[in-house]
Structure 1
Amino acid sequence: MKLITWASWLAGLLGFGLLIAGIALIHVPAAFIVAGIGLLGWAYIADRAAASMSRKPSPGGG
Structure 2
Amino acid sequence: MGLTITFGTDYKSALSEKYKDGDPAKERILNRYRTESTGQSVETGTTKQQNPVGEPCN
TM class, shorter-length: 0.3 to 0.5
Ranked by relative contact order (alpha carbons within 8 Å, sequence separation 6 or more), the top structure is 2
TM value normalised by structure 1: 0.40
Larger Rg: 1
